[in-house]
Amino acid sequence: MDERTVGVVVRILPNPEQREGFHQNFGCVRKAYNETLGKYNALYEKDKSIRPTYTFLNKLMMESKKKLPYLDAMESTSLQQSIRDLSRGFDNFLKNRHFNYPKFHSKKENRNSFRQTIPANKKIINKNKLSLRRYGEVRFRTSPEYMELLNSSDIKFNNVTIAYDGIHYYAIINITTDLPENLPLTGEKIGCDINSNINGWLVTSDDVKEFFDINHENQMIKHINRLMSRCRKLSRRWKKLQKRLQKWYNKRTNKLKDYIEKLTYNLVKEYDVIVFEENYATIKILIGGEQNMVFPLSQFIQRLKNKFELYKPQAEGVVFVDAKNTSKTCHHCGHINKELDVKTRHWICPECGEKLDRDVNAAINILNRWSPGDSLENTQ
Regarding whether 157 and 23 lie in a shared domain, the answer is yes
Regarding whether 50 and 21 lie in a shared domain, the answer is yes
pLDDT tier at 282 (50, 70, 90 boundaries)? low
Regarding whether 165 and 211 lie in a shared domain, the answer is no
Regarding whether 153 and 197 lie in a shared domain, the answer is no
Cα(46)–Cα(322) distance, rounded to whole angstroms? 50
Q: What does the DSSP 8-state code read for residue 80?
A: H
Is 373 or 299 the better-scoring residue by pLDDT? 299
Average pLDDT (265-276) is 95
Regarding whether 249 and 173 lie in a shared domain, the answer is no
Regarding whether 206 and 140 lie in a shared domain, the answer is no
Regarding whether 166 and 208 lie in a shared domain, the answer is no
Q: Reading across the β-sheet that carries 156-164, which strands appear in turn?
A: 112-117, 156-164, 169-178, 3-13, 136-141, 129-132, 125-126
Domain carrying residue 286 = 181-380
> How does DSSP assign 239-298, residue by residue?
HHHHHHHHHHHHHHHHHHHHHHHHHHHHHHHH-SEEEEETTGGG---EESSSS-EE--HH
pLDDT in tens, 19-54: 999 999 999 999 999 999 999 999 999 998 999 999
- In degrees, rounded to 5, the angle at the alpha carbon of residue 192 between the alpha carbons of residues 190 and 195 is 160
Regarding whether 365 and 239 lie in a shared domain, the answer is yes
Among 131, 151, 179, give the residue marking a domain's end.
Answer: 179
pLDDT in tens, 216-244: 888 899 999 999 999 999 999 999 999 99
Residues 138/13, Cβ–Cβ less than 8 Å: yes
Among 179, 203, 224, give the residue marking a domain's end.
Answer: 179
pLDDT tier at 377 (50, 70, 90 boundaries)? very low
Number of domains in the chain: 2
pLDDT in tens, 325-365: 888 889 888 888 888 887 888 888 888 888 888 889 999 99
